[in-house]
């Protein structure tokens, strides 16, 4: 059987500013991070009940992710992505997620740069 979840809640272009980077100049300015998330969330019961308590509350999740990014001071986008994935899995009981982290404007000659990771609860 395929382990890919059937039901997905997604959030795109969730933005927050953070200290991130390996260069000295990056350690003194905040840069914009954009996050795209796909989150496994069985929604059939939530749809039946029509109650937010029966599903993944994406507003609470987005506020928590935004606050975490703003308080972080990692050097690598890979580290931020990994920590965010673990936070979401643990605090929101998400069994599977795909997280794409964009470091907006990091390269002057590129439209985008970042990392994409897929993690699941162990």
103 is catalytic: yes
Which among 59, 98, 103, 121 is annotated as catalytic?
103
Q: Which helix (H) or strand (E) holds 44?
A: helix 44-49
Residue linked to tokens 């928590």: 64
User: Do 114 and 103 form a contact (C-beta atoms < 8 A)?
Assistant: yes
Other CB atoms within a 10 A radius of the CB of residue 119 amount to 18
E strand segments, 1-122: 8-18, 31-40, 96-103, 114-120
Please list the active-site residues.
103
């Amino acid at each position: 059987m395929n382990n890919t979840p059937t039901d997905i809640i997604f959030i795109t272009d969730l933005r927050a500013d953070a200290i991130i980077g390996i260069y000295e100049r990056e350690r003194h300015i905040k840069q914009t991070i954009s996050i795209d998330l796909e989150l496994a969330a069985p929604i059939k019961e939530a749809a039946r009940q029509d109650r937010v308590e029966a599903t993944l509350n994406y507003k609470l999740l987005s506020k928590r992710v935004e606050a975490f990014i703003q308080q972080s001071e990692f050097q690598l986008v890979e580290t931020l992505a990994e920590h965010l994935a673990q936070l979401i899995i643990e605090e929101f009981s998400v069994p599977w997620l795909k997280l794409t982290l964009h470091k907006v404007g990091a390269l002057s000659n590129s439209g985008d740069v970042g990392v994409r990771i897929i993690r699941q609860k162990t």
